[in-house]
Amino acid sequence: MARTAALAPNVDTAPAAIDIVFGEADPPVESAITMELNTARLILRSFREDDVDRMAQLFGNPNFMRFSLGVFTERKQTVAFIEKVIGWDRTGIPSQFAVVPKAEDAVIGYCGFYHHAELPGEVEIGYRLHPDYWNRGLITEAARAVRDHAFADLKLPRVISLIHAEYIPSRRVAEKNGMKVEKEIMFRGFPTLVYAISREEWLVNRDAS
């Protein structure tokens, strides 16, 4: 697992399966963090400044940005995203991982943590993947690694995923991640399902498997 800093259980929280617009309020500062997780087929690593061009391609892809507020039309939007997550990493706040297949040296999406000003006390696992890599179980693999990191390393009490009610593939990923629908809310203008799993539920599922 990655080397991580301690994280207070109730970190203020940002967007994922719904959107990637950041709130004005940033979470509290912790000590610096270096993030890298490994799965059978993937490396989940911190974003770097040289990821901007690749991420700009992804954020401009309508299928990649399905059920969001829309594609990014300007490079500066991607720059802002990269700067935000790098800034969180540098101040010790767990954020997004770049998803990189071990067989390739190319970023194919992201998976990690968001901190939403609208949902204080909640930490979201959010994810998006290049359409060419759909239906291979890759994003489920990434999401499970991030979930395990949240509970085993960061000791978070729970995590959620915010998913558009009609985004069936994303809902399946959350369900395979052991999450259950807790409630439905309106989030940034979208009908949104709040999927959740607690650390206690994760421990029970882990011990039973």
What's the total number of domains in the chain? Answer: 1
Residue-number span of the structural domain to which 123 is assigned: 36-157
Please enumerate in sequence order all residues whose Cβ is within 8 A of that of 98, keeping only pairs 6 or more positions apart, or say none. Answer: 44, 45, 46, 47, 48, 51, 107, 110
Residue 45 counted as domain residue: yes
144-175 pLDDT per residue, tens: 999 999 999 999 999 999 999 999 999 999 99
Residue 18 in any domain: the answer is no
The CATH number covering residue 126 comes to: 3.40.630.30
Per-residue pLDDT tens over the stretch 90-122 = 888 889 999 999 999 899 999 999 988 899 999
Instruction: Say if 175 falls within a structural domain.
Output: no
Is 13 inside any structural domain?
no
Neighbours of 8 (CB within 10 A): 12
Residue with tokens 């790098």: 86
Residue 51 included in any domain = yes
Q: Is residue 3 included in any domain, yes or no? A: no
Domain assignment present for residue 75? The answer is yes
Is 56 part of any domain?
yes
Q: Residue 29: its pLDDT value, please?
A: 39
